[in-house]
Structure 1
Amino acid sequence: MAVKGVDAANAQHTVLPTQSTGSALVVRLADQINSIDAQITDLFRQHVDADILLSMPDFEPALGAAFLANTGGDLRAFETVDRLASVAGLAPAPKDSGRITGNHHRACG
């Protein structure tokens, strides 16, 4: 996205005095974000449960790292695999009202 922003800025016909400075800042920020993403991925892949989390649909390293951070980092804290799937948003959960039953949805929204 940062590259597209820089390309769009460079494609302008009107050159603003701060355009080159802004473009350089965007590129530097994008480099920092990419570096942090790589660090998160490397650290996540070192976790004992990384392969388990990556085996779940739509989980990738950044989401897996966030999941571990939000759940204390220990999958053994979940009593059952069903509970883990529920917390991860992979298992349907009842969304019944007083009049309707059997209405299920995925927990993550």
Structure 2
Amino acid sequence: MKNLKVRNHRLIAAAAIEAAEAQHTVVPGEKLAAAVVARLAREVAALDEAIAETGALIECCSATTHTPDRLAGVAGPAPASKDSGRISGNMRRPRRYCRRLLRVFYMSAQVAARSCPVSKAFYERKRAEKKAHNRPSHLARSIASGCGDR
């Protein structure tokens, strides 16, 4: 039922079991059909749980294979690798990046620059180096890369 995108398939399966058990008229093969429906409903519920567990495992594995630098490259504040063949170290600012994720990093950098003493010191050090400070982009890049020392 889930493959057919049936909404509330668990509730429908439970209602089918309840309806099969609550029948008052006797039909030849009723008990056999009720047993088959009940068994199929339990299998559907078990498959749904197995699919959810498999999906969680896949999400966990895919989340751990990416590095913080890759996340920063996808978000936009850090350069992404444009290596090919024997060329290595060719870093460029990505043209396509997730604007929402970039906004999250900039907002977290602005809040951190005001409230966290370590981030505030990092931001003030970058301002002293005459870096552009209209947006704390260096702080956003360090937050996105997961750099703990800033």
Q: TM-score, normalised by structure 2?
A: 0.33
Higher helix share: 2
Flag the structure with larger Rg: 2
